[in-house]
A = this chain, B = another copy of it.
Amino acid sequence: MFIGFSEAELFLRNCEDAVIITHRNPDGDCIGAGFGLKDILAQLGIRSRVICHDGFPARYSFLTSEGAGEEFEPKTIIAVDIADENLMGDYKDIYGDKVQLCIDHHISNKNYAEKTLLRSDATAACEIIYDLAQYMGVKITRHCAMCLYTGISTDSGCFKYDCTTPRAHEIAAEMMRSYDINFARINRYMFDVKSLGRLKLEAMVNELMEYCLGGRLAIAAVTQDMMKDMGVSMEELEGFAPLTIQLENTEVGILMREREDGVFKCSFRSANDVNVSAICQSIGGGGHAKAAGCTIDGPLEEAKKHLIAAVERALS
């Protein structure tokens, strides 16, 4: 059932011993939303614990270091930034059908929870939680402000992408004025700082990039052999697809990664108006207009030809 702020407030003010679930491969938004909500519940005298199938990466320790909360038998199950209970990982079996409140901004939300506070026009779950705290009249802490800022900033690409709302900017302004958060340092760690490994992988992907269709398509393929040579896994190459559309005239970018079974996992990106979801659907995949994917069998050169032909059809 979809609910509004007043019902969400009623729920939160009357809950006890809450577990707050965040999604697998946690990002700034679910971590910020989880730890931010934990702070808000603490203001209300309610104890809670934030959990994640994958734990919390070290780069978010500036938000998580105060601890995710003590152990207790949960009486309340809350999910934040989780559109689908399958994104809970192992926690799906324990809590998947017991979520009482879900706070989310994904239009694809499966409505799996008892009550869902969904605002699909929000930049981030953190934007909803900030507005909810304001609505409830809870004065948030500086730590909570840092959590919520981080979620808004990371999900919007530092206010860069289409999904950025005017409200996201207004909240950032309010947080800077009222809480003196060290936003520049947060943004440096979220956006500018890289590991040496990441730097080397970026160099590799850039090196591999081929430009086709008069430069309108850029395609890079990373094979299992290359991954073994570099000592990296498929997962470590997650998030490199945007590199394929950094060139001025590129309209579509594809990053191909070979799985152990020789099948290529392909991530498509669109720089402007080309709908890559439609292209992927035409070859058995799917996704969003600007970010989509498919799988395709090897060998590499044939697979590439197939992909290039599909893009060519879409561009003509």
Binding site for B on A (CB under 8 A): 158-162, 164-167, 169-170, 172-174, 176-177, 183-185, 187-188, 191-196, 199, 203, 206-207, 242, 245-248, 271-272
Contacts and interface: CB of A to CB of B under 8 A. Distances in A.
A160 B191 CA distance: 9
Nearest to A199: B206
Given A159-B158, A160-B158, A172-B159, A248 B166 contact: no
A166 to B, nearest CB: 4
Given A193-B246, A247-B196, A177 B184 contact: no
B158 A193 contact: no
A253 B194 CA distance: 14
B161 A247 contact: no
Q: Is the interface of A mostly helix, strand, loop or mixed?
A: helix
A167 B160 contact: no
Nearest first, the 3 A-B pairs at minimum CB distance are A169-B173, A166-B173, A162-B184
Contacts of A174: 166
Given A199-B206, A271-B188, A177 B166 contact: yes
Contact of A247 (B165, B166, B193, B272): B193
Contacts of A203: 203, 206-207
A275 to B, nearest CB: 16
28 contacts: A158-B159, A158-B160, A159-B159, A159-B172, A159-B187, A160-B184, A164-B176, A164-B183, A164-B184, A166-B174, A166-B176, A166-B177, A169-B173, A169-B176, A170-B170, A170-B173, A173-B173, A185-B272, A188-B271, A192-B246, A193-B246, A193-B248, A194-B247, A195-B248, A196-B247, A199-B206, A203-B203, A203-B207
Given A158-B159, A161-B184, A188-B271, A246 B176 contact: no
A186 B176 CA distance: 24
A305 to B, nearest CB: 24
A74 to B, nearest CB: 35
Contacts of A161: 184, 187
A246 B184 CA distance: 14
Contact of A172 (B169, B176, B242): B169
A199 B172 CA distance: 32
Contacts of A176: 164-166, 169
A185 B161 CA distance: 8
Contacts of A187: 159-161
Contacts of A206: 199, 203
Nearest to A183: B164
A164 B176 CA distance: 10
Nearest to A59: B248
Given A166-B177, A203-B206, 13 more contacts: A158-B160, A160-B187, A164-B176, A166-B173, A169-B173, A170-B170, A185-B272, A188-B271, A193-B246, A193-B248, A193-B271, A196-B247, A199-B206
